[in-house]
Structure 1
Amino acid sequence: MTSPPELLPAAGTVPFARDLARHGSRPAVVTAGGTLSYAELADRVDEVARALGTRRRLVLVAGANTVDALVGYLAALRGGHPVLLVPGTGPSTRALVEAYDPDVLIGPVDGTWTIQERRAGSAHELHPELALLLSTSGSTGSPKLVRLSAANLAANAESIADYLGIRDTDRAATTLPLHYCYGLSVVNSHLARGATLILTDLSVADRCFWELFRAARGTTFAGVPYTFDLLDRAGFAELDLPHLRYVTQAGGRLAPETVVRYAELGRRRGWDLFVMYGQTEATARMAYLPPDLARTRPEAIGVPVPGGRFRLAPAPGQPDGVGELVYAGPNVMLGYARTPADLASGRTVDELATGDLARRGPDGLWEIVGRRSRFAKILGLRVDPQAVEALLARHAVEAACLGADDELVVTVAGDAAPARVRRLVADEVGLPPRAVRVRTVPRLPRLATGKVDYPALRDLAATPDAPPPTSADDDLCRLYAEVLERDDVTPEQSFVDLGGDSLSYVEMSVRLERVLGTLPPDWHTRPIAALPAPAAGRPRRRALETSVALRAAAIVLIVGSHIPLFTLTGGAHLLLAVAGFNFARFQLTDAPRRDRLRQIRAGLARIVLPTTAWIAAMLVVTDQYRLSTLLLAHSLVGPADGGTEWHFWFIEALVYLLVAAGALLALPRVDRWERRFPFGLPVALVGLGLLGRYDVFGLDARYGLPTALVAGWLFALGWAAARARDVRQRLLVTVAAAATVPGFFGEPAREALIVAGFALLTWVPAVPSLGPVNRLAGVLAGSSLYIYLTHWQVFPHLRDRPLLALVLSLAVGVAYGTVVERVWRLKLNRLLKTRR
């Protein structure tokens, strides 16, 4: 296939974008939806390149891991147009559009990828060598960009393909974003050798990613340090990946022990580990560690990439043999751009001063020993500690920050709450909270000049976090404080005393199980000081609290049956029983009646507010629901033939049952009865509920009773299960479930599921499990309400791909839950501050 001459302007083009067609029918891109050959990809690229025209223009491309984004990127390069590659369409992209005024925008508009021409020509003078503009490592949204030439891109792609030994039979998964230089280098180097891209935005922690990787016969994937944490959680060491040839790592320093561990794993499994070093300013890669040295020299960055070279520049105050690492090679950028006027500039740098302090070992391998500047790259994200200090100062927090390899250390002067400081920093910078370590000191150490003594802070950061003396109770108090977002935790308090509920219980139980091992059934009511100490040096058996396991399993069954991916119903009715079980444990404490009622109101708010917020949003964007749905009154006012209003029957029933239980317990006499007969009262309520279950008075046929009345006995029976204290009481609950559930639906499998769930809930406090399973179950159980709410708007669009529908339904619910929990905690913190 011959390239049309109208696509070849005077500026140089990039070979891997220009010569796609020469690979013919070889697979270029594999997605979950199918395969695109190089010839097909070339046709699509040429079509978009023609649309962009022959006059060079600045083209902004939203760099998603999709075929449309890939085609847009390659088409701009193919036509010789400088590409401004950005993360998406969010605030950082809007800031870059405002700063650089691109001539063409390629990205999604209302879900459809579109070429938006903002002008026929160009508003800019564009240097002939300019091919690509990228934000510096992690600093997306900043007007400071890296200017790369076509020669930079071609040289680095060939260099990487050379030392990795990329073959045309290789298949690389896109585990990193296209707009990130490391992720982009995977694309460029594999296209340069006619290899295949497995194009996906799934996480390595997602089972669907590995299903796609295996089905596509994946041979390689890339990761930053955080990726390897996710691999550990996903049980990567146990995965069967028969075609895997090598794994690459860059984006920050990987702990030497992790390098050794993965190198050993690769040696046993027949694949190589390439540890690499790079910066956006060098297009992507500057050095790599040969795989055969990973086990013996895991602290080294290795040798320069083919065509590159290092030298050391003097760095004041450093020992002999240590200096600033300076790199030279054909992949060094043209220079920086800070304004549109800089797009006309040619080369302004010949070498790259990396800002890293380095030395060269006797074996010729290079090692990074520190940073010359205070910028730090943490989990692949470039962080400016000075900007973090300024942020905290705006919140009246005096602090000094230091970047380490995998965390930001924030030293705070005074009595600021560490949990609050961690949230402020994590939210602003974009780091996960676990990567922000907060230390408190009476005052910051300072030099005679009055400046902060950062060397002294670095020494302090190297000491253990916990101030001596400490105890296991102190550690547990800190864990409770973090999960419950409180700073007044004492060893004399229990989870229930501290206001824990069924939502926070999930996270608390999973995290506490990691520390203590198997938890006692009544851990939530025990004072922290009365919890068992962890057995040091002895492997612990993993277990998962049964109510958490049932919540996680039930929500998967509900969503999967609605799609339908499978048909195994009964999950929602089982959740009613679990709700009753948790109501007894968290709302019916030994606290005074008013405190109990306050807890019930808070629990109702945690259900009603996110539910009505979601339904209100859906009323705006769809016509599925009515005002009765928003008011959670559909089961009362109908219409009886509504097609979608029944979606939220479970939440309506749960709300009515909680309101009814709260109203009963608001009566002083009933409150006293419950305390005196904790098992007898729910059993009596089961008896009342069975009147509705069996429609003793024939009301259901005439009036269409709400589900709360018809199925309310399940909630009461779950309540009774939580209050059962001996074998006789547990047998009574089990027999009641086995006697009353069958016949309710007329579906034996559905009824057997509910009875089995009741038996587990009543007799088995915890089930054997694995650490990764616990974490996954914790996420699903903690988000079960939100998954139930949101899945109705997700799976109908993916009925022809039921497995993907299930995964996305769960993921959207978890995301909505994360937003709700963050908003809830912010409001709670403001309330606590107001009370203080």
Structure 2
Amino acid sequence: MIAPSGLLPGTKTVPFARSLAAHGDRTAVITADGSVSYGELADRVAETAHRLGPERRLVLLVGANTVDALVIHLAALAAGHPVLLVPGDHADAVQSLTDAYDPDVVARPDGGAWVLDERRAVSAHTLHPDLALLLSTSGSTGSPKLVRLSHENLQANAESIAEYLGIRDSDRAVTTLPMHYCYGLSVIHSHLLRGAGVILTDLSVADACFWELFKAGRGSTFAGVPYTFDLLDRVGFASMELPHLRSVTQAGGRLAPDRVAHYAALGRAAGWDLFVMYGQTEATARMAYLPPDLAHAHPEAAGVAIPGGSFRLELLPDWPGQDTGELVYAGPNVMLGYAESPDDLGLGRSIDELHTGDIARRTPEGLYELLGRRSRFAKILGLRIDPQQVEAMLEKHDITSCCTGDDDELVVAVAGDPDAVDPVRVRRLVTGECGLPARAVRVHVLSELPRLATGKADYRAVRELSRPESLADAATSGPAGRTTPTGPVDLCRLYAEILDRDQVTEDSSFVGLGGDSLSYVEMSLNLEEALGQLPDNWHTLPIRELRKSSRQPAEDRPKTRRRTLETGVALRAVAIVLIVGSHIHLFMVKGGAHVLLGVAGYNFARFHLTSADRPERLRNLGRSITRIAVPSVAWLALMLLVTDDYRLTDVLLLTSLLGPHTGFWFIEALVYILAAATAVLAVPLVDRTERRFPFTFPVALMTLGLIGRYDLLGLDARGHIPLAVSVFWLFAMGWAAAKATTVRQRLLVTAAAVATVPGLFGQPAREAVIIGGLALLVWVRNLPSLASVNRVAGVLAGSSLYIYVTHWQVFPRLEDQFAVVSMIVSLVVGIAYAAVATRVMRWRPSRRFGRREAAGKR
């Protein structure tokens, strides 16, 4: 093992960070990519400590739940360098704190690697010998007010937590919280102190992959904020088999007493303990815990002081009673003090006790119970929010406001003309400032802000705005993300059900929620029933804007009225009928599958090439590929078991690669093309190019695809090539059609179809079908229709993939029947399989939740 780097005399360090090698070959860190032993971790820490050098420097670390970030953090603590730990998921906060504190070293990810940006060899700051760590108390706002923690703070709190949790060297804790949040960091510290393992991940507990990693890593404990427990309910945690689970800890905000009692009982039945805890960043992480055996009887209590700490109550004139007052904590984990600028980094200890700002009472059993807050700080979804800072931020944007909140939401009252002030903009400013999800921010635009007789803002009145007295009030002022009834149909709930997404807000859009061509038809038909005729761009509109497009209640609309049917939906419906009918020989109108390839490219551009960032685009593409491939493979696997019609290459969608081609060439080609497009767009340069040249880019791809269309390289004569190569140009043509916004661009796409489709089969009628379908896609966005026609077309279009997959096993078994009967049964079986497959796919635990739960203090 590499020896620790030499330190200058008198340099203080954190003992557990320098003692990693003492745990030998025990497993220290587990990730999805493998494990790291304590010896290996110690070597990496020593190497990085050597790189940082013996001269103490201020190291800004962009926090992330990765081995690289953990190594840098431990190296700095082991070598005595103060660490400014900042949220890695909030670029503005990183930049703000970098500008405010001018760190000597910036440790950050760059592509797939981590870099140490050494801005100077010797610190530009005076760094107090005791200073070890700087953490923000304001979530991800980038506020320059930081908590100064010492080496003793970190060591003492880790030892205390390890003691009352009874952490063993055989335990393995998973990182359900980000390391830049004191609660998440304390989990890492306390387990490394005892030589236990840390399962390092940024997956959410709502992600099935999280639990796979937890089980594979023999996880014994995990931590959660209140929102985490909401997610646990949704993913069926109570019925999970977790044989190694020993304890669950909760902090980061008040968990309702009934929820504490519920999870305490669940733990007793399953053999694990629930530890409810209370803390603040100013106390390094933890100040109190509720012993598991008291959780059922006293679920409302914060508990007793942690080992080494103590509480007292400071009586307050407006809170009478000897057992009630402000909770004051003392212990070796109390911070040195605050820092608001680099000048404060040289300060020593400025406080000995921590006035928590929480009003508490001491019960006869000696437990402390929190009653409220002295200050206006709000704890929303576990994230500590300073409403005054939000008000100050809005003031910079010339918005006068009053802000207050509770455990569930931040209420923002804005002064101004309701017709002139955009609440969506206000909400985006607030969520961008403090890191809250949109559903937790309620914005009210008022002609005047409520005031007390003294002229001060009436925050009680602002808080009351969040409690509408009627459904009508709720519809007009409800918070984003609340599924408040707004008439016969609740649009937020409708989006959530069809797209299998839980955090649907008034600011959500179909494409923003990851909607694709498979869910588009179902959604559009439901919305037409609820709202009437939809605008062409409805899939990109926020729900709030979409609702404005139709103010007429559904029950007041004519039952029979002319409607329009989107051309892409009509083409999908007609094409699948043509495909099945031609295979049955009911009629011989071919070309439908090739039209569907153009429609697939068209929908790919509409639903996936949005303004979302690159990771979100890729996640949505991955979800769409899964929704195509999994039901197809599942059906083929079933048929492989019960019939002799298929081979393993069919099931694995490999016939396009290994041959011979089968009737499932379309599915394989579509999956291959989408996978290839995803891989290409994952390259940052390509992603930027596509965004800059949205029409030219697919035209260039279409031109490149003509190499496969005409086999200009003679590949087919040399060996088997996938059909995806030969038909990709049609997909790219549909992509270009979606991005064509001018007559000239549409003419170009049409000319390309007319020039390249003829000769594809040597069958003029078939080629005419393809050209006609592509021309409709380019020039006609909507076709005149009726509600009854829309319903039939919608079912056929929405089930087209499933009809295509299943009909090969249906019509051959009905050869003795009339062709019309074969046709009808083939369609019905595919529609039924679509219903089953859709239900099963929606049943899977949703992956849409944020990669991390909200952070804060408790």
TM-score, normalised to structure 1's length?
Answer: 0.68
Distance (Å, rounded) in 2 between the aligned partners of 1:730 and 1:2: 66
In structure 2, how many angstroms separate the alpha carbons of the residues matched to 1:646 and 1:365? Answer: 73
**Cα distance, 1:529–1:384 mapped onto 2, change above 3 Å:** farther
Distance change >3 Å, CA 311–CA 495, structure 1 → 2: same
Q: Which residue of 2 aligns with 1:482?
A: 506
**Residue 556 of structure 1 corresponds to which residue in structure 2?**
626
Distance 1:456 1:505, change over 3 A: closer
- One-letter code of the match for 1:301? A
Structure 1 range deviating more: 276-285 or 639-648: 639-648
Say whether residues 1:155 and 2:221 are aligned partners. no
1:697 and 2:764 are equivalent in the alignment: yes
Q: 1:575-654 to 2 correspondence within 5 Å?
A: 618=686, 629-631=697-699, 634=702, 638-640=706-708, 651-652=731-732, 654=734
**Cα separation, 1, equivalents of 2:194 and 2:365:** 32
> How far is 1:333 from its partner?
0.6
Alignment of 1:197-346 (within 5 A): 197-320=198-321, 321-346=323-348
Q: 1:45, CA displacement in angstroms?
A: 1.1
Deviation at 1:473, TM superposition (A): 5.3
Matches of 1:109 and 1:756, distance apart in 2: 56
5+ residue gaps in structure 1? 512-522, 532-545, 578-609, 667-689, 744-753, 781-810, 813-836
Greater shift, 460-469 or 116-125, is seen at 460-469
Match of 1:41 in 2: 41
Per the alignment, do residues 468 and 212 of structure 1 end up closer, same or farther by CA in structure 2, a change over 3 Å counting?
closer
Per the alignment, in what secondary structure is the counterpart of residue 6 of structure 1? Answer: coil
Moved more, 755-764 or 402-411: 755-764
More deviation, 769-778/29-38: 769-778
Per-residue deviation, 1:631: 2.6
CA contact (8 A) 2:424 2:507 kept: no
Contact 2:509–2:543 at 8 Å: present in 1 too?
no
Per-residue Cα deviation, 1:705-753 (whole angstroms, up to 9, x for no partner): 88966999xx999x999838789x989x99997799869xxxxxxxxxx
SS in 1 for 2:6: helix
- Aligned residue identity for 1:330: P
Q: Mapping of 1:457-606 within 5 angstroms?
A: 457-458=462-463, 461=466, 466=471, 474=487, 476=489, 479=492, 482=506, 494-499=530-535, 503=539, 527=554, 555-556=625-626, 567-568=652-653
In structure 1, what is the equivalent of residue 789 of structure 2?
723
Note the C-alpha offset of 1:611: 14
Shift of 1:278: 1.0
Q: Which amino acid aligns with 1:618?
A: V
Q: Please report how far the alpha carbon of residue 126 of structure 1 lies from its aligned counterpart in structure 2 after TM superposition.
A: 1.7
* Deviation sequence 1:158-183 (CA, Å, 0-9, x none): 00001111000000011111111111
* Residues 735-754 of structure 1: pairs in structure 2 closer than 5 A: none
CA distance in 2, matches of 1:354, 1:299: 18
Distance change >3 Å, CA 757–CA 300, structure 1 → 2: farther
State the Cα distance separating 1:261 from its structure 2 match.
2.4
Question: What residue is the counterpart of 1:66 in the other structure?
Answer: 66
CA deviation vs aligned residue, 1:450-471 (integer Å, no higher than 9, x gap): 2222234445546656467999
Query: Against the structure 1 CA distance between its residues 359 and 629, is the aligned structure 2 distance closer, same or farther, given a 3 Å change threshold?
Result: same
Q: Residue in 2 aligned with 1:100?
A: 101
| Equivalent residue in structure 2 for 1:386, among 383, 388, 392 | 388
Aligned position for 1:588: none
Q: Does 1:181 align with 2:217?
A: no
Is 1:448 equivalent to 2:533 in the alignment?
Answer: no
Kept after mapping to 2: 8 A contact 1:64/1:177: yes
DSSP-derived class of the 2:531 partner: coil
Distance 1:57 1:778 in 2: 40
Residues in 2 aligned to 1:48 and 1:735: alpha-carbon distance in whole angstroms:
53
Query: Measured at CA, do residues 36 and 360 of structure 1 come closer, stay the same or move farther in structure 2, by a change above 3 Å?
Result: same
Which structure is higher in RCO with an 8 Å CA cutoff and minimum separation 6?
A: 2
**Where do residues 81-160 of structure 1 align in structure 2 (5 Å cutoff)?**
81-88=81-88, 90-160=91-161
1:356 aligns with 2:392: no
**Conserved? CA contact 1:507–1:778, under 8 Å:** no
User: Aligned letter for 2:842?
Assistant: V
SS at match of 1:258: helix
1:295 Cα deviation from its structure 2 partner: 2.5
Q: Is the 8 A contact 1:612 1:631 kept in 2?
A: no
CA shift for structure 1 position 283 = 0.6
Q: Distance in 1 between matches of 2:118 and 2:738?
A: 56
Alignment match, 1:19: 19
Q: Is the 8 A contact 1:87 1:179 kept in 2?
A: yes
- Can you list the C-alpha shifts for 1:763-789, whole angstroms capped at 9, x where unaligned? 688559779936967969xxxxxxxxx
Q: Distance in 1 between matches of 2:199 and 2:734?
A: 44
Whether the aligned pair in 2 keeps the contact of 1:616 and 1:630 (CA below 8 Å) is no
Partners of 1:105 and 1:395 in 2: CA distance? 30
Equivalent pair of 1:9/1:79 in contact (CA under 8 Å)? no
Q: What is the distance in 1 between the residues matched to 2:262 and 2:83? A: 39
Count of residue pairs brought into register by the alignment: 675
Q: How many angstroms does 1:617 deviate by?
A: 5.1
Q: Which moved more, 1:369-378 or 1:87-96?
A: 87-96
Letter in 2 for 1:723: V
Q: Deviations over 1:530-551 (max 9, x none)?
A: 89xxxxxxxxxxxxxx999x99
C-alpha distance in 2, partners of 1:459/1:735?
50
List per-residue Cα deviations over 1:4-62 (Å, max 9, x = no partner): 58247422221211111111111111111111111111111112222222222222222
- Mapped partners of 2:280, 2:257: distance in 1: 20
User: Do the aligned partners of 2:664 and 2:805 also contact (CA within 8 Å) in 1?
Assistant: no
CA–CA distance in structure 1, aligned partners of residues 683 and 82 of structure 2: 44
Matches within 5 A, 1:752-831: 759=828, 762=831, 766-767=835-836, 773=842
Q: Is the 8 A contact 2:128 2:345 kept in 1?
A: yes
Residues 230 and 455 of structure 1: is their aligned pair in 2 closer, same or farther, counting only changes over 3 Å? same
Give the secondary-structure state (helix, strand or coil) at the position aligned to 1:373: coil
> Is 1:51 aligned with 2:51?
yes
Deviates more, 1:93-102 or 1:245-254: 93-102
Q: Percent identity?
A: 51
Q: How far apart are the structure 2 equivalents of 1:778 and 1:526?
A: 34
1:68, 1:616 → 2: CA distance?
A: 22
Classify the secondary structure of the residue corresponding to 2:133: strand
**What per-residue deviation string (whole Å, max 9, x for no partner) do you get for residues 639-682 of structure 1?**
3369999897575354578799x99xx9xxxxxxxxxxxxxxxx
Match of 1:534 in 2: none
Contact 1:312 1:325 in 2 (8 A): yes
Structure-2 residue corresponding to 1:802: none
Residue 482 to residue 178, structure 1, CA distance change in 2 (3 Å)? closer
2:406 aligns to what? 404
Deviation readout 1:555-581 (Å, 9 max, x if unpaired): 21557899x99834899957999xxxx
Query: 2:500 maps to what in 1?
Result: none
SS at match of 1:132: strand
CA distance in 1, matches of 2:698, 2:67: 39
Instruction: In structure 1, give the amino acid aligned to 2:348.
Output: G
